[in-house]
Amino acid sequence: MHHLSNSIWFPNPEEADKEGLLAFGGDLSVKRLMHAYRSGIFPWFDDYQPILWWSPDPRMIMFLDDFKVSKSLEKIIHKNKFTITYNTCFREVIRNCSQIKREGQQGTWITSQMQEAYLQLHELGLATSVEIWLGDELVGGLYGIDLIDKKVFCGESMFSKVSDASKVGFYYLVAQLKAKNYQLIDCQMYTTHLERLGAKEIPRNEFLKHLNR
């Protein structure tokens, strides 16, 4: 595992260990974060760890045409129960994502340091949020890194305070990305929830080929 210095550099993702851990150290500057995402690498750590950089193999991704719209989700969409907005309250979305309790996890990887770093990316137009509203209440949302030139969206996290809110947000994210001719969403790590939505694991080298097209 590599120890990063002040220079903006990452080792080859193929040097990651079997868990996908590639390097530690460095910082969360805009330049380093964007270099990481464009190289198929992302940070994931908690308050008690140094900054850890990952590039897992296999990689969880979703090709947009594979998104599964269940009959129940179709009904919810047609009811227009929720209002969808984009980039209206990024700070609230990432804060809510950091507070959601997740099975098998203690604390959060979305530390205050991470939140401030991604807010900087958002202010530069490099990070996007989708917000789901029920009346005047923010009931769901998601955010991620937008690699515009590569036509890849790197999903970071989502939250839901009411049933199906995050699924609705994901539905509209996919629709927006398809309209812009994006190729895929990088979901990073496997979860059963993402698999049910249509995501799948592919070899890391195949994912990197998509990034380099």
Q: Rounded CA gap, 14 and 41, in Å?
A: 11
Q: Rounded CA gap, 143 and 156, in Å?
A: 6
Q: Are residues 40 and 103 in the same domain?
A: no
- Which domain range does residue 6 map to? 2-54
Q: Are residues 24 and 127 in the same domain?
A: no
Range of lowest pLDDT (130-134, 174-178, 192-196, 202-206): 192-196
Q: Are residues 83 and 178 in the same domain?
A: yes
Q: Are residues 76 and 165 in the same domain?
A: yes
In angstroms, what CA-CA distances link 106 with 47, 95, 103, 110?
A: 11, 16, 8, 12
Report the predicted TM-score, pTM, of the whole model to 2 decimal places: 0.94
Cα-flanking dihedrals φ and ψ of residue 17, to 5°? -75, 180
Q: Which residue has the tokens 């150290």?
A: 25
Q: Rounded CA gap, 14 and 193, in Å?
A: 27
Which whole number is the average pLDDT over 100-121? 80
